[in-house]
Amino acid sequence: MRIISPQSPLPAAILAIVFAVAGHAQEGTPSYSQRDLQSKITYCKTCHGLSGEGYRGYVPMPRLAGQQTQYLENQLRAFIERRRTNPIMFNVAHVLSPSMLRDLAAHFRDLNPEPLGGAPKELVATGKPIFEDGLPDANVPGCSACHGFDAKGQGEIPRLAGQLFPYIVKTLTNWSKERGQDPSKPDPSAMMVPTAHNLTETQIAAVAAYVSYLK
């Protein structure tokens, strides 16, 4: 029978594999209970609506329902890293672990309430061609090129369908003041800077009205 000495490289290799597997298992295991997760979900719904449909208040709270998980995770990390400005979300996001971010994003992705609506319907007809085809003369590409013709987004590109009218207006109007606040950490949202800048207030309102009624 062959006896492997403590100096043999084989045990060290085996131990390395064991520790690596154990480390991955620990990394993938949430450090919180389902009760903790449900508590965070309830907290989010305090502002974003019981079905994640958003809230039309003095400060509009965006719809989270049906949103792309990768986008939600990226935005929560942007708050944590101070790449996106929002004093309330700074405090909410900085205590969330990576696994909690994933679970929260997955929860809201699976919700699909009716849009709240409320946007001026007379603007919808103007917003539709801007969303679909853009404004070539103003160097504004069609929103559908990235967000899809159904406006449901993909991966890092957010869903706009059913998003609150006042929230989209506020976000596009203040884009450079809220997004990409840390130039050393480029954000995918940087591609929106010229588009938001080249849209007039009327055009922004029209696009916002159009997507707010999409399901």
Residue after which a domain boundary falls, among 66, 81, 109: 109
Does 10 fall in a domain? no
Measured CA to CA, the distance from residue 19 to residue 128 in angstroms comes to: 55
Q: Which domain holds residue 70?
A: 34-109
Residue after which a domain boundary falls, among 109, 139, 172: 109
Number of domain units in the chain? 2
Q: Are residues 101 and 156 in the same domain?
A: no
Tens of pLDDT, residue by residue, the chain (215 residues): 444 444 444 344 433 433 333 343 344 567 788 999 999 999 999 999 999 999 998 899 999 999 999 999 999 999 998 888 888 999 999 999 999 999 999 999 999 999 999 999 999 999 999 999 999 999 999 999 999 999 999 999 999 999 999 999 999 999 988 887 777 777 778 889 999 999 999 999 999 999 999 99
Q: Are residues 181 and 144 in the same domain?
A: yes
Helices (H) and strands (E) in the chain, counts: 11, 0
Tokens 């997760």 sit at which residue?
A: 37
Kindly calculate the radius of gyration of the chain based on its CA atoms and give it in whole angstroms. 22
Does 13 fall in a domain? no
Does 24 fall in a domain? no
Alpha helices in 81-192 (DSSP H): 87-93, 98-109, 124-133, 144-147, 165-173, 175-178
Q: Are residues 183 and 207 in the same domain?
A: yes
Q: Are residues 202 and 146 in the same domain?
A: yes
Measured CA to CA, the distance from residue 53 to residue 39 in angstroms comes to: 18
Q: Are residues 53 and 91 in the same domain?
A: yes
CATH number of the domain within which 138 lies: 1.10.760.10
Tokens 């696009």 sit at which residue?
A: 207
Does 19 fall in a domain? no
Q: Which amino acid is at 121?
A: K
Give the relative orientation of helices 201-212 and 124-133 as an angle to the nearest 10 degrees.
90
Q: Are residues 103 and 135 in the same domain?
A: no
Q: Are residues 178 and 133 in the same domain?
A: yes
Measured CA to CA, the distance from residue 150 to residue 214 in angstroms comes to: 8
Coil, helix or strand at residue 61: strand
Residue after which a domain boundary falls, among 109, 138, 153: 109
